[in-house]
Amino acid sequence: MCSSIATKYWCVKPPRPHVALAVYAHAVTSDPARISVTAKVSAYYRKFSDIAFAAEVATLIGADEAFAEIVREHALEPDKLTFYAPMFEARYKSITQLIGECGATQVLELASGYSLRGLDLTQTGSLHYVETDLRDVVATKLDLLEDVRRWHNIAPRPLHAVTAADVLDLGQLQSAAAGFDRGRPLVILCEGLVGYLTREETGCLTRNVHSLLSEFTCGWWIVPDFAFKTEIRNLPPERIRLREAITGVTQRQLDASAFEDGDDLAAFLHRVGFDMQVCSQVDKTTSFSTIAALNLSPAVIERMRPVLRVWLMTLVPRL
């Protein structure tokens, strides 16, 4: 059953890059749909974790095959990349933890890819969860959700919706958020998106999120992946090679919108109207299942601790 379903989900495979990697030395703005394949890379690494539904999602969308193709075409050494599994685990779990700490009853997840946090968090309680991504990913995700629900005998819930929305289009975000109660706080989150955007696009996203949150009594914006130029310059060689491969597939220079440092980021956010606080993803991750699953040393987590951050933004209060 799984292999035929996996074949079905290959419909969102991106076109092969046909330009040499060297061409991407500068920031490029390709069709955002090219970024969508990276959702399979996150799903691939999450399958090693105990995150709800992660293993079956990876099987159903053919994450192994998508990852194997990137490895083959870019001569990567996957054994040297296993540390990505705890990175993706920390990113996912720390965001889920922060959603709980905010105490909001409404969540809008942008660029949700094949993550099933929405399904997981709406199994109990009365959380209203709307997730969005680009049209083709949403079409695939709706099939995926149907299969996972059938597999686990889970009924659809009216408070969990999946809808298409381009984060660069405020009107589309407002439509996606139309069903939320403006009198209650809203959490907006985007995981794994900002790294693929140019600075202009990051500015547009930030302004759109600010406009939308301004419609609500209060709210938060959670982002785990702002980047700093100094840290990108010091990445280990195997990370650089995977990033080059992802650039080849997406035709996007990763972290093109990187900030000089935390002060530069804070100033950028403040200009748009956000206050920010930064937390450690590691501290917000209650347990790391991928360490035992992949026989990794717990020292891996401590080595990555300084760069694994998650930012929590709130609107600057109006005077």
Ligand X SMILES: C[S@@+](CC[C@H](N)C(=O)[O-])C[C@H]1O[C@@H](n2cnc3c(N)ncnc32)[C@H](O)[C@@H]1O
Query: Would you tell me which residues interact with ligand X (CB under 6 A)?
Result: 32, 35-36, 38-39, 42-43, 111-113, 115, 133-134, 137, 166-168, 191-193
Taking the least distance from each CB to ligand X, the nearer of 83 and 114 is 114
- Residue 129 C-beta: closest distance to ligand X, Å: 14
Q: How far is the CB of 42 from ligand X (least distance, A)?
A: 3
- CA–CA gap between residue 273 and residue 315 (Å, rounded): 6
d(CA 318, CA 305): 35
The burial class, CB within 10 Å (0-12 / 13-18 / 19+), for 272 is middle
Report helix, strand or coil for 154: coil
CB 217 within 8 A of CB 184: yes
Nearer to ligand X, 100 or 298 (CB): 100
For ligand X, the closer CB: 167 or 301? 167
Nearest distance, CB of residue 319 and ligand X, angstroms: 33
Identity of the amino acid at 124: T
Output the smallest distance, CB 224 to ligand X, in A.
9
Q: Closest separation between CB of residue 73 and ligand X, Å?
A: 18
Residue nearest to ligand X (CB): 113
127: Cα separation from own chain's centroid: 20
- Residue identified by tokens 């200009």 is 271
Residue with Cβ nearer ligand X (39 or 70)? 39
Q: Based on CB atoms, which residue is closest to ligand X, 203 or 262?
A: 203
Size of the chain in residues: 319
